[in-house]
Structure 1
Amino acid sequence: MMQLLRDILDKQVVDREQVKIGKVDGLVAELRQAKPPRVIAVELGSIALGRRLGAVPGRWAARLVARLSGKRQTRPHRIAWNKVRDIGVDIEFDIDVRQTKIFAWQDWLREHVIGRIPGA
């Protein structure tokens, strides 16, 4: 499991069209009785990254994101592990990023902040 963490965390994630989604900030594992843990998803986003730094930074990141996003995003984005297509320099998932809400925060920021800057 430690080698998987080393090889997966902080790697670039791309969708099937090679659109960059972000970096792997966390892994979600299923604990099974008398069997090794099984990875079921990867997490992306500042909430998952905050959790890696500890409980307090994780709670702080979740509160900040919830406050800034109007509570639309209170959990990290998860992509099911069974959607992995390839693990190389990047981790490619068999998803279409345009069909997800992964970029919702960027879209909101573009509409409500960047779009209001003269000349933007």
Structure 2
Amino acid sequence: MQLLRDILDKQVVDREQVKIGKVDGLVAELRRGKPPKVVAIELGSISLARRLGVVPGRWTARLAARLSGKRQARPHRIGWNKVRDIGVDIEFDIDVRRTRIFSWQDWLREHVVGRIPGA
């Protein structure tokens, strides 16, 4: 399996087939004398911006922290041990309703969309 080709930018779904987003980054553990081990995937605009370079990643993290608090200044991570299946989509053994993955959308709905007349 070639991780960058087979995992990056694939759709992620939870155990109920709810679409969470796409894989924007991979987190690997470096081990002395052994190949790196994938420990998590990252989702979100911060991880996506990091693919463009360090500076865009920092700007995006600062913007997220300013708009929705320091807790949102990090990409969302899902442990690799939660992978259930890799096919067309990457299926994880999690319930998205018990995570904070959609907190940015909730914030946007409450502070922006909800204030638009007729919304």
Q: TM-score, normalised by structure 1?
A: 0.95
Secondary structure of the corresponding residue to residue 72 of structure 1: helix
Paired residues in the alignment total 119
Q: Which residue is 2:61 aligned to?
A: 62
Task: Give CA deviations for 1:84-104 in whole Å, capped at 9, x if unaligned.
Answer: 001111100000000000001
Return the alpha-carbon distance in structure 2 between the equivalents of residues 41 and 71 of structure 1.
21
- 1:90 matched to which residue of 2? 89
- In 2, the alpha carbon distance for the partners of 1:63 and 1:46 equals 12
Structure 2's unaligned 5+ residue stretches are none
Gaps of 5+ in 1: none
- Superposition deviation, residue 67 in structure 1: 1.3
Q: Percent identity?
A: 87
Q: CA deviation at 1:72?
A: 3.3
Shift of 1:12: 0.5
Amino acid at match of 2:76: H
Q: Report the secondary structure of 2:109's partner residue.
A: helix
Shift of 1:117: 0.7
Return structure 1 stretches of 4+ with deviation > 3 angstroms: none
The answer to whether structure 1 residue 117 and structure 2 residue 119 are counterparts is: no
Q: In structure 2, the residue corresponding to 1:119 is in which secondary structure?
A: coil
Shift of 1:77: 0.2
Give deviations 1:50-83, integer Å, cap 9, x for gaps: 1111111111111111112133301000000000
